[in-house]
Amino acid sequence: MPAEFTVVPDDLDKFGGAMGDLAGQAGAAVQHVTKWLELQNAETGIFVQVKEIVEQIQEDLTANYKHLQTLSDRSADELGKAAQLYRTTDYEQARQLDQTYPEPAR
């Protein structure tokens, strides 16, 4: 018989908080990339090519950090909702629902 699946709502909240923190850090990373990867006066010689490469890196990093921020923020919200659901669902109903989940891969 599989081990009983249990959820501690406070642990979900704690992890949701960590995901919220990650979203904030990703937002700060966007600002950091914007500030420090901005090349001024790189319009001649080899600097033109360097500037193009750095601008592409800046665009890619910005897009990735924004995506990470969105995913982390949404995850934090959903973890909070899941914690609240487990707090408000009676034990027997939760136990029956938990038994419907597939066995985890090992």
pLDDT in tens, 37-68: 888 777 778 888 888 899 999 999 999 999 99
- What is the full DSSP assignment across 52-70? HHHHHHHHHHHHHHHHHHH
CA 94, chain centre distance (Å): 27
The tokens for 80 are 């909070």
Task: Give this prediction's pTM.
Answer: 0.75
